[in-house]
């Protein structure tokens, strides 16, 4: 079993926090990254009036999915910007740790 030893009084503590946050961000990115949809093949579907109306209602309902994708991208962008800020903060800190 691997044991990690760190000392809060040393200068490596901010880097340890960045490491933990980076691993957390990788996991969150994997689960929140929107999956691509399969290509629609409309040629084999029924083209009668009621069926087309049903499909149009379903496509209009997909705007919520698009909004969810945009929100996921924004959340991931903010998390990555925070990671970059943490790295900048850790590098510019004095050796007062």
Supply the range of the domain harboring residue 20: 1-34+48-97
Per-residue pLDDT of the chain (97 residues; tens, 9 = 90+): 677 666 666 677 788 889 999 999 999 988 888 777 665 566 677 878 888 788 777 766 667 778 888 899 999 999 999 999 999 988 887 655 4
What are the residue ranges of helices labelled H in the chain? 13-32, 49-61, 63-92
Give me the pLDDT at residue 21, please: 93
Q: Is residue 39 part of a domain?
A: no
Residue 93's nearest CA partner among 8, 11, 1 is 11
Opening angle at CA 73, ends 62 and 80, nearest 5: 170
Number of domains in the chain: 1
The SS3 assignment for 43 reads helix
CA gap 56, 62 in Å, rounded: 10
CA gap 63, 65 in Å, rounded: 5
Q: What's the pTM?
A: 0.62
């Amino acid at each position: 079993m691997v044991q990690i030893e760190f000392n809060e009084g040393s200068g490596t503590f901010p880097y340890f926090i960045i490491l933990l946050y980076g691993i957390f961000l990788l996991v969150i990115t994997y689960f929140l990254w929107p999956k691509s949809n399969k290509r629609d093949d409309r040629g084999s579907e029924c083209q009668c009036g009621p069926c087309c109306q049903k499909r149009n209602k379903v496509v209009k309902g997909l705007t919520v999915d698009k909004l969810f994708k945009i929100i996921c991208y924004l959340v991931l962008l903010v998390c990555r910007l925070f990671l970059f800020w943490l790295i900048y903060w850790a590098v510019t800190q004095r050796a007062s740790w």
